[in-house]
Amino acid sequence: MNTAPTTALTAGAELPPLEIAVTRTLIVAGAIASRDYQDVHHDAESARQKGSPDVFMNILTTNGLVGRYITDHFGPTAILRKVAIRLGAPNYPGDTMVLTGTIEAVDGDTATVRVVGANALGRHVTGTVTVTVPDAEARP
């Protein structure tokens, strides 16, 4: 985990990609941690009966991973102000999700970051995160 930003708050700057292995454990643990007991997130047979090839990640786990991506990049003092995401292609076990980000706008020490998370099926998540980075204006 980064403890300081690697990029100044500059519109157009790209964040380095983050690869996340989508494991069955991650999917099930994320669902349980977020109290989402929907069977499609932990029971492969139930997921298949409902038309899915396997269990798949819930939106709350994805939301947490997007937040982690931003705070890992901007450091432990970063404050997430708003996270607005939309899901697309499911995250299934055995895949890898690659998160990427671009700073779209900057207002003082607050930035809006466009985030995309893609897997082998396409875009799993798209959205924006508004983040405040205290003392960002003083950084190079």
Which residue segments constitute the domains of the chain, with CATH numbers given?
14-138 (3.10.129.10)
Residue with tokens 């099926």: 121
Residue whose tokens read 């500059």: 10
pLDDT in tens, 11-51: 999 999 999 999 999 999 999 999 999 999 999 999 999 99
* Cβ atoms of 81 and 46 closer than 8 Å: no
CB atoms under 10 Å from CB of 73, counted, come to 22
Residue 86 has pLDDT above 70, yes or no: yes
Would you say 9 and 133 are in contact if contact means Cβ atoms under 8 Å apart? yes
- Rounded CA separation 16/84 (Å): 20
Alpha carbon distance 93, 52 (integer Å)? 12
The pTM for the full model equals 0.91
Q: Which residue has the tokens 């349980």?
A: 32
